[in-house]
Amino acid sequence: MYDPLVHPFPDQNQPDPDSYWLKLSGAVAPDDDGPVAGDADVDVAIIGGGYTGLSAALALARDHGIKATVLEARSSSWGCSGRNGSFARISGGRVPWSRLVKTYGADVARAYFQELRQGLDTVRGLIADGEIECAKQPDGVYKVATFGPHADSLRREEELYNTVLGYPARYVEASDLRGIHEGPESNGALYLPDGFSLNPLALARGLHRMARGHGARIHTNSPVTQWIDEGGVHRLVTPTGTIRARRVIVATNGYTSSRLHPRLAARVLPVHSQIIVTAPMSDAQVAASLPSGKCMFDTRELLFYYRRLPDNRMLFGGRSAISGADASAPRHRQYLYDAMVRKFPAIGGIGVEHWWGGWVAVTRNSLPFCYKVPGAGDVFTAGGYAGSGVSCSIHMGTKLAMMAAGRPYETAASFLTSQPGRYPFASFLRLGQWMAYRWLHAKDAREAKRAG
Ligand SMILES: Cc1cc2nc3c(=O)[nH]c(=O)nc-3n(C[C@H](O)[C@H](O)[C@H](O)COP(=O)(O)OP(=O)(O)OC[C@H]3O[C@@H](n4cnc5c(N)ncnc54)[C@H](O)[C@@H]3O)c2cc1C
């Protein structure tokens, strides 16, 4: 399997994921412009055809009159955007709000919250404007306390949301979770009224159609294999032709190979996230496990996210594998299955019909970025959503478009526009991650023991 720390680019032998979304939406993708054919000069090239790249292409064409050329290594939205857990939330990165306030102050935290809120509104607007049929579900997100003592921290989080961020999150008592979330890990929850699930591949395909409809070109099976800087002009080499661009947007996020561009290397850690989707549950199983169809995630250090799909299957995701070579080992699928059944004993023995994974991008500060790459000419990039990027990536795409069109992106959430730090000891990244996982697992196990 493609591993950004090992391979130079996603090549044509990389298979499509065994995803439920691909089964629902069908293997036939919307029309595109095929592989690059020969050599061409363009104004703006975008590397990566996921939400970030497609949203940038759409905004460039629609709002700035620039018809960009997207270069996607495989098929459109082949990366995270076509295979994610399907939650569009007010989220981006993985820093708890309390830590964000402590590190950057309340004003910056509020500004960031507003950015993320805008991102979710942008997604709502695009679905409506583009009449994107992506099975959008009603709003509502539960962060569910896995262990009893976690309820207290959710109450504190509720207060922070209400008083610092001015947002009406509310704590739900364990007893009030009955009929919403069953099982032994229902120990209270924080309810966030905004956020919904959808078919993520259908959303990406909708963006693709809109971008192309406004004049963007989308070349699939066109991996950038070499990037040559010709003094202000960027020569992007693909197997079937070369694109010379004045400006480049890099939208490869967790799929960014360390070899794509020296200035981008080691600024994100690609982290593998995996999902299983079960066979349909019976009505009795639904009632005894997850009656609600809203977005759910838990309070473990290595958290799990899950939802009941409209056809009563359980979608259950989390992190386990470290390297691409190891990601298809059956123990990772079993790890998810065991966690799901621990949470919902009523579905023990249920079959798994889909299992897939993808690379999310985590920065050293676990926050996203959107900046002009210093010392690289007109090169702009965004990413680092840490597995919480459905709405954030679409929002950042619009900001990248603005920057590439020559307008500054001004935000009080200043970390967003700063270049993320490089990971030190890049060759030992996987070892560091393995150690971090061991530590987090141990922490979760200690909590489980304490909770009895
Ligand atoms: C299993 C999983 C579950 C997730 N669940 C959620 C969720 O529920 N909610 C949420 O908010 N977020 C979730 N995410 C994260 C979310 O999907 C991403 O943050 C978002 O899709 C990022 O979009 P992107 O366009 O930046 O990157 P991607 O969609 O990953 O697109 C990057 C693209 O770049 C291409 N590429 C790479 N190198 C090259 C090259 N050299 N030349 C050309 N193209 C190249 C790749 O082929 C890829 O298609 C999840 C991710 C995964 C993997």
**pLDDT score at 407:** 97
> Residue 383 is encoded by which pair of tokens?
């990413």
> Residue 118 is encoded by which pair of tokens?
């805008």
**pLDDT score at 312:** 98
> Does the beta carbon of 50 lie inside 6 Å of ligand 1?
yes
CA distance 379 to 423: 21
Ligand 1 centroid to residue 173 C-alpha, Å: 35
Q: Do 359 and 257 touch, CB atoms closer than 8 A?
A: no
Ligand 1 centroid to residue 201 C-alpha, Å: 11
Counted residue by residue, the chain has a size of 452
3-class secondary-structure state, position 39: coil
Residue 400 reports pLDDT greater than 80: yes
Locate the DSSP E strands across 6-63.
40-47
Q: What is the mean pLDDT of residues 59-87?
A: 98
Mutate to test the pocket of ligand 1, among 21, 75, 242, 255 (most ligand atoms within 8 A of CB): 255
**pLDDT score at 448:** 83
Mutate to test the pocket of ligand 1, among 76, 78, 81 (most ligand atoms within 8 A of CB): 81
> Residue 108 is encoded by which pair of tokens?
């910056």
CA distance 440 to 82: 28
3-class secondary-structure state, position 239: coil
CATH class of the structural domain 143-185+269-362+433-452: alpha beta
CA of residue 176 relative to chain centroid, distance: 30
Residue nearest to atom 9 of ligand 1 (CA): 87
Pairing state of beta strands 40-47 and 269-278? unpaired
Summarised one tens digit per residue, pLDDT across range 304-361 is: 999 999 999 999 999 988 999 999 999 999 999 999 999 999 999 999 999 999 999 9
Q: What is the mean pLDDT of residues 108-121?
A: 98
Residue 425 reports pLDDT greater than 80: no
Summarised one tens digit per residue, pLDDT across range 235-290 is: 999 999 999 999 999 999 999 999 999 999 999 999 999 999 999 999 999 999 99
Mutate to test the pocket of ligand 1, among 69, 80, 199, 396 (most ligand atoms within 8 A of CB): 80
> Does the beta carbon of 92 lie inside 6 Å of ligand 1?
no
User: Please, which residues bridge with residue 306 across strands?
Assistant: 296, 316
Sequence ranges of the domains in the chain = 12-140+194-260+364-421, 143-185+269-362+433-452
Please give the mean pLDDT across all residues of the chain.
Answer: 96
CA distance 379 to 369: 14
Ligand 1 centroid to residue 80 C-alpha, Å: 3
Summarised one tens digit per residue, pLDDT across range 160-172 is: 999 999 999 999 9
Distances (CA, A) of 91 to 79, 395, 414: 19, 11, 17
Distances (CA, A) of 327 to 252, 264, 278, 334, 358: 20, 24, 19, 12, 9
Ligand 1 centroid to residue 281 C-alpha, Å: 29
**pLDDT score at 45:** 98
Ligand 1 centroid to residue 361 C-alpha, Å: 8
Summarised one tens digit per residue, pLDDT across range 90-106 is: 999 999 999 999 999 99
CATH topology of domain 12-140+194-260+364-421: FAD/NAD(P)-binding domain (3.50.50)
Q: Do 203 and 134 touch, CB atoms closer than 8 A?
A: yes
Count, in order, helices (H) and strands (E) of the chain.
10, 18
Query: Predicted confidence band at 444 (pLDDT cuts at 50, 70, 90)?
Result: confident
Ligand 1 centroid to residue 242 C-alpha, Å: 24
Ligand 1 centroid to residue 315 C-alpha, Å: 18
